[in-house]
Every structure is written in structure tokens, then in C-alpha cells.
Amino acid sequence: MTTLAPDGILLGFARALRAAGLPVTADRESTYLLAVATVGMSDRAATYWAGRATLCSGPEDIERYDQVFTGWFGGEERGLTSVPPERTRPQVWLDSDEGAAGRPTEDPDDEVLKVAASAVEVLRHRDVTTLTAAEKQLLAATIDTLRPRAPLRRGTRRLPSRRGEVDPHRTLRAQLKHLGEPTDLAWRRRHTRPRRVVLLIDVSGSMSPYADVLLRVAHRYLRSGAPAEVFTVGTRLTRVTRALRQRDPDRALHDAGQAVPDWSGGTRLGETLGAFITRWGRRGVARGAVVVVCSDGWERGDASTLGEQMRHLAQLAHRVVWLNPHRGKAGYQPIQQGIVAALPYVDHFVAGHSLGAYLELLEVLARA
Amino acid sequence: MLPTDQVTSAAGLAQTLASTGYLCDDALATIGFLALRLHRPLLLEGEPGTGKTALAEALALGLGIPLVRLQCYEGIDASQALYDWDFPRQILHLRAVESTARRGGQGSDVDLGQVEADLFTTRFLLARPVLRALQESPCVLLVDEVDRADDEFEAFLLEVLSTYQVSIPELGTVRAEQPPIVVLTSNRTREVHDALKRRCLYHWIEHPGLERELAIVRSRAPEVSEALGEQVVRLTQLLRTTTDLIKPPGVAETLDWARALHQLGTEVVDVETAARTLGVAVKYREDADRVRMMLDRILSR
């Protein structure tokens, strides 16, 4: 190691960072070398900052950068301290050499196409936890063919229309073509834009039978191209939007599963909701959006925290939808502490146990 | 000699910035220095109120070059960032040509080709911030809150920032003789695209430490007495670190608070004056309640 040229040491460091999962590309490496050459390699702190500015691309990278830096260049002190700890966010990497796992090898597609509509009709009202493996495949295939529609909001721009108000600009322009002679009036109207949808999916133990299917529905919604964000909540908040954006549903679900550290863990819904509101919601993600909380409301923590956070969420969001898988079951009463605390701030309370319920959810979203 | 060549080291940049009243730490100075030297855009992220925008202003002031500011918003497009043709003035020009030709009678022929060519000259070009920055370079181009713009706009920005040139079909290509110093800021309401990040030097600005915030108060609000300034800074630092506030006060709030207390003629901050002026520093009702409950404990220490 001691015989290596300086650029060898630096490039080795960049490689080590890449191995640690940072998105280090060749052009970043060359910028890094230039930057270190500019500040001089003898200045340890400056080398640290030059690397941090050229090789990191977000606060979530900084902690790993620090670790690799100490490992590579040795020593204790590292420039200054790093990110505020609450800012660590989910890392989602694409491991390209791993195929989509967790799926039977025989391709069900041909089979599915032949399945008559009646089979889907039967499936429609069955609880997804009671399905056989074949039925689950059919359910998955059906979900992948859904066409969700985004809720709409009024945009600021006005677009040409056949009704609405008179469009002075276009009317005058049309007159110019006729040397100022009055011609037909042009009209314009405010257009509509898709409203953002935020899905918060509970992945705690009590929800795990449903979480898979819910993530698949979320993937379908994201793939429709409408603006949306997906997070999983449990004991921690994880953003899985990036993983779910991939085209292939199984691949997307697999990567999302990898990104979630608290699968089938406990529930601290109030706290994670709070984390969502502070880190994402208030900065714009939840503002004016339709927020869907998918949870059974079994809160381990203090239910009053959940109530407070839900109130906050309701103030930020355009509509709050609560999806509870148990709601569709006979004899269900909303008496769990969490649900009781949250219900006053919920605009729509929907079921989430069957295909029919998901169709209803998409309908509620489209009209929200 | 170009203004950016005056700066020969990170410490030199820190000094230049300090002369304008902007105090930065070694990290920011190093990265700012790199941005000047490598001609790379600087992408700054951090909590609101940590001085992202102020850095661009201080850079412009300290180096003695103009600041061109582009505020991003949802729906911003290239014609608002680059250039637009001044349509009303073009029409006016045509009318003027028309009327002089008529008055002059048959004798005065108008060169049609010339009139048309006149319409698309710099006279009728409205330069928007990015084009202006390229024309006026050396200057500081501040692209503020880039996270608010759409993806398409980011792609467009990427194109301009990688070549520092803009082509206008009717006029030709405008190229900056020396790349402008570009500062992008983001509040992370949306993840900025990776391709854009790769072009930039990235820095996360944190709230300043006790010493540096004190120095900032001293330089920015010299009218506030030393003792009062120190109390206010200690108080806000404590609020930032120990309590779990919805919106922790930034440096701007510290300054406002110190000035407000100074205006009221306060010399020593006690529970009552702090509670009365709390609205300057804390902007949520829930936060205010929480802080009011703690004030007793904090101030009696």
C-alpha cells in the first residue's frame, strides 16, 4: 500500500466507496482527483471535504463516507462531525446480479390470460390471506392490470378550451392575422393537474399478510405515472418509492422488501407518522396531497401521539384516507385505541382485505 | 485579472466572505474554493435558515461581481429562465416602419429583408436570468430552491450547466467567456436528479455552532450588546438541540430575536421577556407552548 502513487490511493478510496454502495461513477472519480489536486493532498481536512463534496450526493451518503474515510486513511478525527442522525433515510440500491426472487419459475402469464372473468369475480370478495398460491398469482396478475386514475386539482395555468372565459391573448393574436379585424373569440379555461398521492403502508407483524398485496397495489399506482410517494411505517419510516418505480412488479417488490429494515416488527405508528411529517410531509410531500394510511391501528405506543400526528397530517393534506384490512370483516368495530384516536381526522375509512376493497380504494382516490 | 483569481486558497475565500459579514466554517470555505477553481456548480442543501441563499449573495458582494438570481417554482420553463422575444415591441416596430413608409409615399422603398432581420436582434430579446448570467459573466448565478422546479426543467438546467452555452435559433449561440459561478440551493422537498447532482459539488449546511453563531450575531447585529447576544444565542442553541420542535429556529430567527429584545431595551433575558417575544423565534403554536413550558427550567440554570 505504501508504494502506491497518490492517485492510486485516491482511486482506491473511490472504489472502496463504490463497494460501500455510494453512487461513484467514473466522472465523479475524475472530479475527485481534480478537487484533491486543487486543495493539496497534504491537508487532511481539505482532502476529506473535497471528497465529500464530489463523491456524496445526499445526507444519507455522508455517514458511510465517514466510515470508509476513516477505514482508508486511518485516524480518528474526521473533518467535522457528520449528518444529524435523524436524517438517515432508506438506501435503495439495485443489485443487478440478483434475479427477481420469491416467484415460482413456471410463468403464469399464459395461464392467467385464459382465466375467465368469473374467476376474478370470485376472487373479488375473498380475504387475500385465505388465498391459495395459485389464487395469489391470479390476484397479483389482476392487480398488475389495474388502471388507477389520479385525483385532480385545479392548475394555475389556463389552457385553450371551447368553454370558459374569453382568452384575450389568443383572440387578439387571431385578429392580428386579419389586420386587426374582429374575428372569432377564443376561450380558455383553468386546466387540471394530477394531485399527489402518498401511501403509508404499515409493515408491522399484524399487518404482514396484507403488506405484500398493498405494496403491489402501490407499485401499480406508481407505474400509472401519476405523482405519488410510498413509505413503509412500522418501527421506522422507509421510503420505497424508488424501489417501486421499476417496471417489473416482482423485482420492485423484492427491492422494496430489501430496503425495509423493520418488516414484521412492532408498531410505533404515532412516532413514525411524526417522522414522516417532519422529514417529508411538512416540506411539501403531504401538502395538498391525498394521504392514505394503510394500517390496522394496533398501536404499541401512546395512542394520543397518534391522534396528535393525525391531526397534523389532516391539516397538511387535502384528504386523509385510512385503509384497515379488518374493516371489511363481519362484526368489525373500530374500537382499537389507535383507530379511535385517528378516526376524527380521517376523511374516508375504507376496507383493505380483498381485491374488491382495493378497487374501491382506487375509486376513492380518483374522486378525492 | 478575473475576480475569481484573487482567491488563492480556502482561507482566502473565508476571509473574502467574512469581509461581507458572512462567516463560514472550513468545510464550506474549502468546497466554495473548489467550486471557484474547478468551475463546478455548487449544490447546497440544509435546513431553512442556515444561509444557503446568503452564501451566493456574499460571494457576489465579496468578489465584486453581479448576482443573477433565478427563483424556481413549479411549472417554470425555459422561456422564463432563458430568453423570450418581446412580441409587443416587435409589433410596434413593424407599425412604425409601416407608417413611415406610407408617409414617405412611393419614393421611399422599404427593404423587406432588412425589416424582418431587424425583428430578431438583441434589441427585441428579453434576456432571462440564465442567459443574462452567461452574457454578464463573470457573475454569480443563484438558482434558488431548485427542488421546486419540475424534472424537465432540471434536465434543461443540466444542459446549460454542462456546456455554459445557450443557442438561440434566430441569433446563434451565446457562450460565456468565463463560466459563471453557479450556486444551486435545495430544501429537499423533492430529490434532485442524480445526473444534476453528479455535475455539482455537494454540501450539506448545518446550523452553526455556539462560537460561530455568536460571531454572526456580532457582525450582523452590531447594535445588540455582547451580553444580550450571548444569552440569545445560548438559548436558541439549546432550543435546537434539546427540544423536539416542529421548526427549530434558524440563524435568521436568532438575529431577529436579538434585535427584537434590543428594541425593547432588554439587557438580561428573563422568563417574562423571553415569553413575550417568543413569536419572533418560534412560529408554530405547538412549539411555542412547548418552549414556554421549558423556559423556566432553561433560564434558571
**How far does A224 lie from chain B, in Å, by closest CA?**
17
Which of A57, A65, A190 to mutate to test binding with chain B, by most B CBs within 10 Å of its CB? A57
Burial A325-350 (b: 16+ CB within 10 A, else e): bbbbeeeeebebbbbebbeebbebbb
Which of B52, B154, B158, B198 to mutate to test binding with chain A, by most A CBs within 10 Å of its CB? B198
Model confidence pLDDT, tens digit, residues A266-299: 888 888 999 999 888 888 888 889 999 999 888 7
Q: What is the pLDDT of residue A1?
A: 44
| Helix or strand holding residue A348 (H, E) | strand A348-351
Q: Is residue B173 part of a domain?
A: yes
Span B252-259, mean pLDDT?
A: 90
Whether A53 and chain B come into contact, CB under 8 Å, resolves to yes
Domain check: are B181 and B262 in the same one?
no
Q: Is residue B131 part of a domain?
A: no
Q: What is the pLDDT of residue B48?
A: 81
Query: Which residues is A165 bridged to in the sheet?
Result: A188
Model confidence pLDDT, tens digit, residues B270-285: 888 888 888 888 888 8
Whether A46 and chain B come into contact, CB under 8 Å, resolves to yes
Which residues have a Cβ under 8 Å from the Cβ of A169 and sit 6 or more positions away? none
Nearest CB among A31, A53, A84 relative to B31 is that of A53
Q: Is residue B222 part of a domain?
A: yes
Distance CA B193, CA B202 (A): 13
Whether A177 and chain B come into contact, CB under 8 Å, resolves to no
Domain check: are B160 and B200 in the same one?
yes
Distance CA A158, CA A165 (A): 10
Write out the three cell numbers for A221: 399506482
Span A204-209, mean pLDDT?
A: 85
Query: Which residues is B158 bridged to in the sheet?
Result: none
Lowest mean pLDDT, pick from A89-93, B26-30, B197-201: A89-93
Span B287-291, mean pLDDT?
A: 85
Helix residue ranges per DSSP H, chain B: 10-19, 26-38, 52-63, 78-81, 87-103, 112-119, 129-136, 151-163, 194-199, 210-220, 226-242, 251-263, 271-276, 285-300
Nearest CB among B10, B25, B45 relative to A46 is that of B10
Asked whether A289 and A281 are in contact (CB, 8 A), the reply is: no
Domain check: are B93 and B161 in the same one?
no
Q: Last residue of a domain, which of B157, B185, B205?
A: B205
If pLDDT is split at 50, 70 and 90, which confidence band does A341 have?
A: confident
Amino acid, single-letter form, for residue B246 = I
Q: Do A62 and B190 touch (CB under 8 A)?
A: no
| Residue B56: closest CA among B151, B181, B158 | B181
Lowest mean pLDDT, pick from A3-12, B66-75, B220-229: A3-12
Query: Is the per-residue pLDDT at B7 higher than 50?
Result: yes
User: C-alpha dihedral over B87, B92, B93, B96, to 10 degrees?
Assistant: 170
Q: Do A45 and B75 touch (CB under 8 A)?
A: no
Distance CA B49, CA B252 (A): 6
**How far does B189 lie from chain A, in Å, by closest CA?**
5
Model confidence pLDDT, tens digit, residues A149-185: 889 888 888 888 888 888 988 888 888 877 777 778 8
Write out the three cell numbers for A97: 446480479
Q: What is the pLDDT of residue A76?
A: 54
Q: Do A59 and B197 touch (CB under 8 A)?
A: no
Domain check: are B146 and B195 in the same one?
yes
Query: For residue B75, which residues of chain A lie inside 8 Å, CB to CB?
Result: 156-157
| Residue A159: closest CA among A196, A130, A187 | A187
**How far does B223 lie from chain A, in Å, by closest CA?**
32
| Helix or strand holding residue A339 (H, E) | helix A337-342
Query: For residue A93, which residues of chain B lie inside 8 Å, CB to CB?
Result: none
Nearest C-alpha in A relative to B199: A28
Q: Do B197 and A57 touch (CB under 8 A)?
A: yes
Which of B9, B38, B55, B289 to mutate to test binding with chain A, by most A CBs within 10 Å of its CB? B38
What's the CATH code, domain A197-367? 3.40.50.410
User: If DSSP codes are grouped into helix, strand and coil, which group holds residue A99?
Assistant: coil
Q: Do A35 and B75 touch (CB under 8 A)?
A: no
pTM confidence score: 0.61
Q: What is the pLDDT of residue A101?
A: 41
Domain check: are B50 and B144 in the same one?
yes
Span A202-216, mean pLDDT?
A: 88
Q: What is the pLDDT of residue B44?
A: 93
Domain check: are B175 and B46 in the same one?
yes
Q: Which long-range contacts (CB under 8 A, 24 or more apart) does A36-41 make?
A: A36/A10, A38/B33, A38/B34, A38/B37, A38/B38, A39/B10, A39/B30, A39/B33, A39/B34, A41/A6, A41/A10
Domain check: are B146 and B30 in the same one?
yes
Name the one residue in this structure whose C-alpha cell is 427593404: B111
Q: Do A283 and B187 touch (CB under 8 A)?
A: yes
CB pairs under 8 A between A and B: 71
Q: Do A23 and B27 touch (CB under 8 A)?
A: no
**Secondary structure percentages of chain A, helix, strand, coil, to 5:** 50, 15, 35
Nearest CB among A46, A53, A285 relative to B201 is that of A53
Domain check: are B52 and B149 in the same one?
yes
Query: Which residues is A350 bridged to in the sheet?
Result: A323
Query: Is the per-residue pLDDT at B5 higher than 70?
Result: yes
Query: Which strands form A152-161's sheet, in the order they lie side by side?
Result: A152-161, A187-194, A165-166
Q: Do A27 and B198 touch (CB under 8 A)?
A: yes
Query: Is the per-residue pLDDT at B125 higher than 60?
Result: yes
**How far does A107 lie from chain B, in Å, by closest CA?**
35
Model confidence pLDDT, tens digit, residues B291-301: 888 888 777 65
User: If DSSP codes are grouped into helix, strand and coil, which group holds residue A111?
Assistant: helix
Domain check: are B45 and B155 in the same one?
yes
Write out the three cell numbers for A238: 422507509
Query: Is the per-residue pLDDT at A356 higher than 90?
Result: no
Model confidence pLDDT, tens digit, residues B127-148: 999 999 999 888 999 999 998 8
| Residue B41: closest CA among B168, B176, B212 | B176
Query: For residue B188, which residues of chain A lie inside 8 Å, CB to CB?
Result: 283
Angle A263-A198-A155 (CA atoms, 0-180°, nearest 5)? Answer: 165
Model confidence pLDDT, tens digit, residues A17-71: 888 888 888 888 988 998 988 888 888 888 898 899 989 888 888 888 888 888 8
Distance CA B281, CA B279 (A): 6
Span B254-278, mean pLDDT?
A: 88
Nearest CB among B10, B91, B188 relative to A283 is that of B188
Name the one residue in this structure whose C-alpha cell is 375509486: A363
Burial B25-49 (b: 16+ CB within 10 A, else e): ebbbbbbbbbbbbbebbbbbbbbeb
Write out the three cell numbers for B51: 444561509
If pLDDT is split at 50, 70 and 90, which confidence band does A89 have?
A: very low
Domain check: are B228 and B164 in the same one?
no
Query: Is the per-residue pLDDT at A106 higher than 50?
Result: no
Q: Last residue of a domain, which of B205, B225, B250?
A: B205
Nearest CB among A28, A62, A284 relative to B189 is that of A284
Domain check: are B261 and B241 in the same one?
yes
Which of A18, A44, A49 to mutate to test binding with chain B, by most B CBs within 10 Å of its CB? A49
Nearest C-alpha in B relative to A35: B34
Q: Where are the domains of chain A?
A: 6-85, 156-193, 197-367
Nearest CB among A25, A53, A157 relative to B34 is that of A53
If pLDDT is split at 50, 70 and 90, which confidence band does A118 have?
A: low
Question: Is residue A149 left, alpha or beta, with left meaning phi > 0 and alpha meaning psi from -120 to 50?
Answer: beta
If pLDDT is split at 50, 70 and 90, which confidence band does B181 have?
A: very high
If pLDDT is split at 50, 70 and 90, which confidence band does A215 have?
A: very high
Q: What is the pLDDT of residue A283?
A: 83
| Residue A253: closest CA among A269, A148, A263 | A263
If pLDDT is split at 50, 70 and 90, which confidence band does A219 have?
A: very high
Which residues have a Cβ under 8 Å from the Cβ of A330 and sit 6 or more positions away? none
Query: Is the per-residue pLDDT at A251 higher than 70?
Result: yes
Q: Is residue B177 part of a domain?
A: yes
Nearest C-alpha in A relative to B241: A84
Domain check: are B189 and B264 in the same one?
no
Span A72-101, mean pLDDT?
A: 47
Q: What is the pLDDT of residue A75?
A: 67
Question: Mean of the per-residue pLDDT values for chain A?
Answer: 81
| DSSP state at residue A205 | G
Nearest CB among A45, A50, A79 relative to B34 is that of A50
Distance CA B24, CA B17 (A): 8
Asked whether A246 and A253 are in contact (CB, 8 A), the reply is: no
Residues of B with CB under 8 A from a CB of A: 10, 25-27, 30-31, 33-34, 37-38, 40, 45, 75, 91, 187-191, 194, 197-198, 201-204, 206, 246
Number of folded domains that form chain B:
3
Q: Last residue of a domain, which of B205, B222, B247?
A: B205
Domain that holds residue B216: 210-291
Whether A44 and chain B come into contact, CB under 8 Å, resolves to no
Which residues have a Cβ under 8 Å from the Cβ of B288 and sit 6 or more positions away? B278, B279, B282
Task: List the CATH number of the domain containing B201.
Answer: 3.40.50.300
ipTM over 0.85: no
Beta strands in A43-166 (DSSP E): 152-161, 165-166
